Copies of this chain bind each other. A is one copy, B any other.
């Protein structure tokens, strides 16, 4: 099979490296991070941490170089889905299926504007860039995938992709309805990410401080009410994920806190923003999700103000 990983950052690299190592597939990594692409071309893609190996694969920042692929795996930050899939869509035809393994909800809708068969996905493995061509593999975990409902993706394609991923070492569970797994992680992310980002607390500290721990719970309740109104059966309890993370060793900073520290646009629109929008559609009030969404939007705006001032004072 030919597979293109669209967005080969930390998470995308975990998928790309495992698939390439299996020797069963022609793997392409597509990313705008040119030093990473160049390093992969010259020395291969190295993972270290939860697994240590280097895999050889194709990598490019030029979508025109990607051949027609059977599968796509989109792993960009949600805020880049729209532009990334617009560029990479030329690699997919009416027999290709493209799977999101991104944070939040709303990515599949954007992919489906360009691709016939779309697969909804949620993934737990996590990593971080160490240097170009080298990714730290921090957390192992499962991936859940299922047809993106509006595209009527055949279940056989979902199962084939799951088997490919599982066979490569990335355990993947095919589901007829992957919304429950996705919303469970969404609700978890929409509590821990903005609170970490606004308080600068690492995950364990925010969980065990009573005021922020309670805010996690209150945000989770709103998310669960929206999921219920949508008829989605959650895949476990988001609070259990909070506690699991809080009890893990180390001081893990939520990805949105990492974005805030780097003054990078966050994924809040695809997390709390999405919960607010689905709440409005289903008539479920989500005042706390709206409040933290507003605060993150304000924080993002402050970086723009800062840049504008810097330009103005030159």
Contact = CB atoms under 8 A, between A and B. Distances in A.
Contacts of A294: 211-212, 214-215
Nearest to A301: B209
Contact of A198 (B206, B211, B298): B298
Given A198-B298, A199-B299, A287-B287, 20 more contacts: A195-B295, A198-B198, A199-B295, A200-B298, A200-B299, A200-B302, A201-B301, A202-B305, A205-B302, A206-B298, A209-B301, A211-B297, A212-B295, A212-B297, A212-B301, A214-B294, A215-B291, A218-B291, A292-B295, A295-B295
Interface residues of A, number: 28
Contacts of A195: 295, 298
Contacts of A206: 298
A30 interface: no
Interface string A184-216: 000000000001001111100110010110110
A288 interface: yes
Q: Chain A's interface: helix, strand, loop or mixed, by majority?
A: helix
B302 A201 contact: yes
A293 B199 CA distance: 11
A215 B302 contact: no
A312 to B, nearest CB: 12
A199 B295 CA distance: 6
A302 B218 contact: no
Contacts of A298: 195, 198-201, 206, 209, 211-212
A198 B299 contact: yes
Interface in A248-302: 287-288, 290-295, 297-299, 301-302
A257 B128 CA distance: 32
B295 A215 contact: yes
